[in-house]
Structure 1
Amino acid sequence: MIVELGHYALVLTFALTLIQSTVPLWGAVREDDRLMAIAPPVSIAMFFLVLISFAALTIAYVTSDFSVVNVWENSHSAKPMLFKITGVWGNHEGSLLLWVLILVFFGALVAYFGSNMPSPLRAATLAVQGWVTAGFVLFMLATSNPFNRIPSAPIEGNDLNPILQDIGLAIHPPLLYVGYVGFSITFSFAVAALILGRIDAAWARWVRPWTLLAWAFLTLGIAMGSYWAYYELGWGGWWFWDPVENASFMPWLAGTALLHSAIVMEKRDALKVWTVLLAIFTFSLSLLGTFLVRSGVLTSVHAFATDPARGVFILVLLCLFIGGSLSLYAWRAPLLKQGGLFSPISREGALVLNNLFLSAATAAVLVGTLYPLALDAITGEKISVGEPFFNLTFGPLMVPLLMAIPFGPVLAWKRGDLLAAAERLYAGFGIAILAVLFTFWLWGMERVLAPIGVGLGVWVMAGAICEIWTRVKPREVGLKRAFERLKGLPGAAWGTATAHFGVGVTVLGIVTASAFQDEYVQTMKPGDTVNLSGYAVTFDGVAPRRGANFIEDVGHFTVRQSGVVIAEMEPSKRLYTARQFPTTEAGIHTVGFSQIYLSMGEGRPNGAIDVRVYFKPLVTLIWIGCVIMAIGAVFSMADRRLRVGAPKPSAKRSPQPSATPAE
């Protein structure tokens, strides 16, 4: 009965999406308050209906109701309770239901917290959100119903994919989906504004918090997925340019450009057309990622195994949402008035430069991801585009971007002074040069580019500190007054500096872990020792162990430094009995910001095993930097200026700075 209730709630949700996507929009166009007032309560009702549906599926998993096809295919009675719950979104149907839940949750948030927005914009935004929700709910009911029953219920289930039975996969998809789906709100704002013909600085002020929220969660989701692959798959790497990894990275790059463009639009009423286009493209890339993961066009450890019918349905949704929004953009954008002018050497100019490099980087990743798929579809030829391509295309675009990042916040709006900005950053530049020289001294001249990469990371970090320093001016006003200024800085200033600092931290971790890691791959017998980077790793032997739903052979390794035992590590080879599926569990020991990484291979008849041992200097900075970036987004969202309402134009200026000529 609970399962049927969940299915019925989905059907009611679809019926409500038809109301939400039409009636409020008609009211917004006609400026009918009664019709527009329908949108908020319908949005909130849809959220509660989908929440009931999600709860019903969760109960089916918790109680091991194998009469439900989805539960039978992805669960097992012996599975730990945590993974019974996370199994709800560890499959195509359940993860799609989570996607829809987050989609209607964002709509409910706009309905509840958007009371300070103009009624036509809120109604039109919720109507567009209703279009997106209707498409995905229809997709679920037609091809991916999570509540289908089995006439004769099996006694036991098939178990969840073993590599998904991990705490990282309990966290990674929800974070990633909040990021993916969060950009649907910016998309809805953009399409609604195009329909109404009103895009101005106030619009940018309303869009920016939602963009920040989505961007922060997408950052954390990508970081969590990267760390999960790093420790769970046993490959020893943190990024592989996998097509599905790229599918989440592309909207992150576009979303980063959107954030910076929205700032220019809010502060200077400029870049309107570009900002709207980025809002459309960012969510379009999220939809493209959905297509790649769920269509069956590629094979990946991250992808869901699906049938072609689902891929065709998603492709139709892609054409409708992306094609429709771009057609609307082509029609309405030329009618919008342009905003304020600015000099190329200004803060606006720096943000435009940032957008150009981020857009080019997104295009490079998009080409590298889609070209093999297009070539296979057209000619049948199979090729792979991997690290060499992305290093040669993506890497060179990042170098000038990283060099330019510290200049943007210290340049003046409208017309800046590049020499004055450089003077404010001279201390940061000096610290970066010292970092380059220290890296050469520490690791030698064998890798010339790596110390430059270290210098770039330090340069971005130091630039963020210099930005705060120049704002408070302690040398000019004294420490007491500087401290008062520090406390009075707006949240956006702290957010910008913190996020940029996090970028530098991540770059530093990427360069050092990639360029200076030590790696040994060899066969070891009990008693053998490997020496790397000042650590001695001794293989003591292998012992069997049994878990709740798996058996494993656990390797025991002792790590010594200067003859003193500092750690005992236990990598393993697991076999999940229900599916007879083997996995590799890496052993990781953290030393400061660095890590010793152990991965076991195949065993030998004489008790020896193949072992892969790494020392990865400063590798944890990769993920620490991502967390710092997300904290920066939180600081920016806490800026009181985003809570007191949008800026209003001066009485001396036109009250509708971006209205169409027809208005």
Structure 2
Amino acid sequence: MVPEIGNISLTLALVVSILLAVYPLWGAYRQHDTLMATARPLAIGLFFFTLISFVCLVYAFVTDDFSLAYVAQHSNSRLPLHYKVTAVWGGHEGSFLLWVLMLSIWTVAVALFSRGIPHAMVSRVLSVLGMVSVGFYLFMLLTSNPFDSMLPFFPVDGRDLNPLLQDFGMIIHPPMLYMGYVGFSVAFAFAISALLSGQLDSTWARWSRPWVIAAWSFLSVGIALGSWWAYYELGWGGWWFWDPVENASFMPWLAGTALMHSLAVTEKRKAFKSWTVLLAIAAFSLSLLGTFLVRSGVIVSVHSFASDPTRGLFILGILVILSGFGLLLYALRASQLKSPGRYQAFSREVLLMGNNVLLCAATLVVLLGTLLPLVHKELGLGSISVGAPFFNQMFTWLVVPFVLFLGLGPLTRWKQQHVAALRNQLLLAFGLSISAAFLVSMSYSQPSYMAALGLTMAFWILITSIQEVLQRIGAMQDNDSMLRRLRKLTPSHWGMVLGHLGFAVTLIGISLVSNYEVERDVRMAPGETVSLGGYEFTFRDVVKHQGPNYDADIGIFDVFRNGEKVVHLEPEKRMYTVQRMPMTEAGIHSTLTRDLFIAMGEPLENGAWAVRIYIKPFVIWIWCGAAIMALGGACSISDRRYRMAKLARLKQTFSHPQTTTQTGEQS
């Protein structure tokens, strides 16, 4: 009975999404208040029916309802309860239901938290989100229904969840990643709504910007969690492999970063309108492209879903229709996207434009590197591989000017900046950056030029960010203390500072771990000791352990430094009994300055084991930097001026309805 309720709810959600796509948009076109008033209730209804469907699927997993094909394929009666819940999104059908649940959450969030935006604008935005939802609900019901039944014949027990996914990372990584992916649909909806209405002033950018920052923050956390998960779960000690699925999430992040900066210029200077609209379309289109790559079966990856290619064609069709519709509207409104005003060659606008160009170039590099092997093979030209060396080299050339502009941008003025006014600041920042990078590099026995370059860029961002804050509070015309002046800076400004600082922290982690990590593959028997990087790793013993659905060999290791015990680690080698699949669970000890990483390989003769040992300096800074960036995003969203601007705009709309466009340009 419960699966039937879930299936019916999915069907009702499709019906509601069709109504949401049609009625509010028609009402906005005809200025019909009653039709526009249906937008918010329909958005709430869409979320309600989708949530019911999702809860029904969770119930089916928890109660071991193997009459559902999806449950039978991805669960087992011996699977721990928390993994039964996360198994809901452990396969294609359930993860796509999670996807549309996230889409309905974003839709209802727009409906509930955009009451300061004019009614017609909200109606168009929700209607566009309804159009997007129609495609995805049709996709689920026609090709990927998680409630497909196996009655009257169904297995006594399930095939179990993929052992790779039986981990804490599976609980938090996909929801965060999907929230970021799907969140860019809101940016797309705002851009399409502005194009439909012709209201292409700075106000739609102000309304859209908090939603874009929220989506970007979720995606930043999702990517970081995926990197962290791969680092400790796969047992190979890597945090980024330029895997096609990793690239699929990285591309919309790059486009979203460019979109955030472009929205800031459009909001404050009424410039970059064309860039902003195109980037809003591109960020969402790249999210759809990532969905296609993961679910079409065209790529082979540990992260991808093995799926029918015909499903990929359906997603590709959605991508073509939505992106084509957006680009067509853009072409029709191109004449209205001219930016007023002029600015000099050295100004904040030009530096932000330069960073946008570099971010778009980086996106194209990742896109070409990901798709080229697929295209090459489909054309019958054979198989080629585009690996990490290509991406690393290309990104090195792109990130240097990007970081230069990133440090310069906040220090410069809008429209025009005299170089002489910044000369001393920039020389000081440059000198301190090189000096700090040199000192850190020299603390290692074998200095690396690439590490020094990365550290110089990171310290450049840190120092120029501090200079910008000091410059900002120094310009305040009051007698307050420095602490009071710091408190006067807006949350949006602190969000920018934290975002830049977080990127610098991540860059430090990448630079140091990529150039100074040490590793060793050894054969170890109980009682033996191996020295590496000033540490002694002693292999004590191996003990057997029986888990709920696996058997494990647990290695007992003690780590010493200068004769003193540092930590006790217990890496595992597991064999999952249902799928007969071995898994490595690394033993890791993390501090702010280094990770000790031990992974057990295969058993050898005479009780010995193949063991891999790493010492990874500052690797945790990679993920701490991402957390700081996301914190900066949360700080920006909390800025009260967005809510006040919406309220002021609403009052203007009701007070002077005939001058809506004019007041929007002036705000």
TM-score, length-normalised on structure 2? 0.95
Q: How many residues align?
A: 658
Deviation, 1:444, is 5.2
Which region of structure 1 is more displaced relative to structure 2, 462-471 or 604-613?
462-471
After TM superposition, list the pairs within 5 Å mapping 1:99-114 onto structure 2: 99-114=99-114
Deviation, 1:428, is 3.6
What is the aligned partner in structure 2 of residue 236 from structure 1? 237
What is the aligned partner in structure 2 of residue 260 from structure 1? 261
Q: Distance in 1 between matches of 2:283 and 2:629?
A: 19
Which region of structure 1 is more displaced relative to structure 2, 104-113 or 251-260?
104-113
In the alignment, is residue 122 of structure 1 matched against residue 134 of structure 2? no
Letter in 1 for 2:379: I
Describe the shift of the 1:476–1:23 C-alpha distance in structure 2 as closer, same or farther (beyond 3 A).
closer
Residues 39-97 of structure 1: per-residue CA shift (max 9 Å, x gap)? 11111111001000000001111111111111111011111111011111111111100
What is the aligned partner in structure 1 of residue 624 from structure 2? 624
In the alignment, is residue 656 of structure 1 matched against residue 643 of structure 2? no
SS in 1 for 2:340: coil
**Contact 2:296/2:311 (<8 A) preserved:** yes
Residues 295-348 of structure 1: per-residue CA shift (max 9 Å, x gap)? 010111110110122111111111111122112212222343423322231121
Q: Distance in 2 between matches of 1:200 and 1:224?
A: 37
Letter in 1 for 2:487: K
Describe the shift of the 1:622–1:659 C-alpha distance in structure 2 as closer, same or farther (beyond 3 A).
closer
**Contact 1:425/1:466 (<8 A) preserved:** no
**Contact 2:274/2:338 (<8 A) preserved:** no
What is the aligned partner in structure 1 of residue 505 from structure 2? 505
Q: Distance in 2 between matches of 1:202 and 1:475?
A: 27
SS in 1 for 2:395: helix
Deviation, 1:429, is 3.1
Q: Distance in 1 between matches of 2:641 and 2:276?
A: 20
Which region of structure 1 is more displaced relative to structure 2, 501-510 or 381-390?
381-390
**Contact 2:116/2:643 (<8 A) preserved:** no
What is the aligned partner in structure 2 of residue 73 from structure 1? 73
Letter in 2 for 1:392: Q
Which region of structure 1 is more displaced relative to structure 2, 74-83 or 641-650?
641-650
Deviation, 1:144, is 0.4
Deviation, 1:655, is 5.8
Q: Distance in 1 between matches of 2:553 and 2:367?
A: 41
Letter in 1 for 2:346: I
**Contact 1:200/1:658 (<8 A) preserved:** no
The two structures, once aligned, show a CA RMSD in angstroms of: 2.1
Which region of structure 1 is more displaced relative to structure 2, 54-63 or 540-549?
540-549
Deviation, 1:427, is 4.6
**Contact 1:337/1:658 (<8 A) preserved:** no
Describe the shift of the 1:12–1:396 C-alpha distance in structure 2 as closer, same or farther (beyond 3 A).
same
Letter in 2 for 1:249: F
What is the aligned partner in structure 1 of residue 448 from structure 2? 447
What is the aligned partner in structure 2 of residue 529 from structure 1? 529
After TM superposition, list the pairs within 5 Å mapping 1:480-491 onto structure 2: 481-491=481-491
Q: Distance in 1 between matches of 2:482 and 2:403?
A: 28
Deviation, 1:592, is 3.0
In the alignment, is residue 21 of structure 1 matched against residue 21 of structure 2? yes
Q: Distance in 2 between matches of 1:382 and 1:182?
A: 35
What is the aligned partner in structure 2 of residue 555 from structure 1? 555
What is the aligned partner in structure 2 of residue 517 from structure 1? 517
Q: Distance in 2 between matches of 1:297 and 1:380?
A: 16
What is the aligned partner in structure 2 of residue 31 from structure 1? 31
Q: Distance in 1 between matches of 2:218 and 2:304?
A: 20
Q: Distance in 2 between matches of 1:167 and 1:417?
A: 53
Describe the shift of the 1:105–1:475 C-alpha distance in structure 2 as closer, same or farther (beyond 3 A).
closer
Describe the shift of the 1:659–1:464 C-alpha distance in structure 2 as closer, same or farther (beyond 3 A).
closer
Deviation, 1:591, is 3.1
Q: Distance in 2 between matches of 1:145 and 1:658?
A: 48
SS in 1 for 2:606: coil
**Contact 1:199/1:658 (<8 A) preserved:** no
SS in 2 for 1:598: strand
Describe the shift of the 1:559–1:445 C-alpha distance in structure 2 as closer, same or farther (beyond 3 A).
closer
Which region of structure 1 is more displaced relative to structure 2, 102-111 or 337-346?
337-346
Letter in 2 for 1:390: F
Describe the shift of the 1:440–1:17 C-alpha distance in structure 2 as closer, same or farther (beyond 3 A).
closer
What is the aligned partner in structure 2 of residue 383 from structure 1? 384
Describe the shift of the 1:549–1:306 C-alpha distance in structure 2 as closer, same or farther (beyond 3 A).
same
Name structure 1 gaps, 5 residues minimum. Answer: none
Q: Distance in 2 between matches of 1:606 and 1:241?
A: 38
**Contact 1:61/1:84 (<8 A) preserved:** yes
What is the aligned partner in structure 2 of residue 249 from structure 1? 250
Q: Distance in 1 between matches of 2:227 and 2:412?
A: 35
Q: Distance in 2 between matches of 1:554 and 1:604?
A: 15
Residues 548-587 of structure 1: per-residue CA shift (max 9 Å, x gap)? 1101111111100111111111111111111111111111
SS in 1 for 2:443: helix
Name structure 2 gaps, 5 residues minimum. Answer: none
What is the aligned partner in structure 2 of residue 365 from structure 1? 366
Residues 13-32 of structure 1: per-residue CA shift (max 9 Å, x gap)? 11111111112111112222
Letter in 2 for 1:451: A
Q: Distance in 2 between matches of 1:221 and 1:125?
A: 25
Deviation, 1:510, is 0.2
What is the aligned partner in structure 2 of residue 135 from structure 1? 135
Letter in 1 for 2:275: W
SS in 2 for 1:279: helix
SS in 2 for 1:643: helix
SS in 2 for 1:527: coil
Q: Distance in 2 between matches of 1:449 and 1:394?
A: 13
Deviation, 1:446, is 4.9
Deviation, 1:38, is 1.3
Q: Distance in 1 between matches of 2:85 and 2:467?
A: 46
**Contact 2:450/2:511 (<8 A) preserved:** no
Which region of structure 1 is more displaced relative to structure 2, 343-352 or 421-430?
421-430
Q: Distance in 2 between matches of 1:414 and 1:67?
A: 66
Which region of structure 1 is more displaced relative to structure 2, 416-425 or 60-69?
416-425
SS in 1 for 2:481: helix
SS in 2 for 1:521: strand
In the alignment, is residue 571 of structure 1 matched against residue 571 of structure 2? yes
What is the aligned partner in structure 2 of residue 600 from structure 1? 600
Q: Distance in 1 between matches of 2:514 and 2:229?
A: 18
Deviation, 1:106, is 0.9
SS in 1 for 2:267: helix
After TM superposition, list the pairs within 5 Å mapping 1:82-231 onto structure 2: 82-151=82-151, 152-231=153-232
**Contact 1:432/1:458 (<8 A) preserved:** yes
Letter in 2 for 1:656: T
After TM superposition, list the pairs within 5 Å mapping 1:468-479 onto structure 2: 468-473=469-474
Deviation, 1:467, is 1.8
In the alignment, is residue 644 of structure 1 matched against residue 644 of structure 2? yes
SS in 2 for 1:159: coil
Describe the shift of the 1:79–1:422 C-alpha distance in structure 2 as closer, same or farther (beyond 3 A).
farther
Q: Distance in 2 between matches of 1:378 and 1:265?
A: 42
Deviation, 1:422, is 4.3
What is the aligned partner in structure 2 of residue 44 from structure 1? 44
What is the aligned partner in structure 2 of residue 329 from structure 1? 330
Which region of structure 1 is more displaced relative to structure 2, 501-510 or 26-35?
26-35
Describe the shift of the 1:475–1:312 C-alpha distance in structure 2 as closer, same or farther (beyond 3 A).
closer
**Contact 1:51/1:101 (<8 A) preserved:** yes
In the alignment, is residue 10 of structure 1 matched against residue 15 of structure 2? no
Q: Distance in 2 between matches of 1:236 and 1:422?
A: 43
Q: Distance in 2 between matches of 1:461 and 1:220?
A: 21
Which region of structure 1 is more displaced relative to structure 2, 24-33 or 91-100?
24-33
Q: Distance in 1 between matches of 2:638 and 2:114?
A: 17
What is the aligned partner in structure 1 of residue 60 from structure 2? 60
**Contact 2:404/2:457 (<8 A) preserved:** yes
Letter in 1 for 2:457: L
**Contact 1:461/1:502 (<8 A) preserved:** no
Deviation, 1:603, is 1.1
Describe the shift of the 1:567–1:659 C-alpha distance in structure 2 as closer, same or farther (beyond 3 A).
closer
Percent identity over the alignment? 47
SS in 1 for 2:115: helix
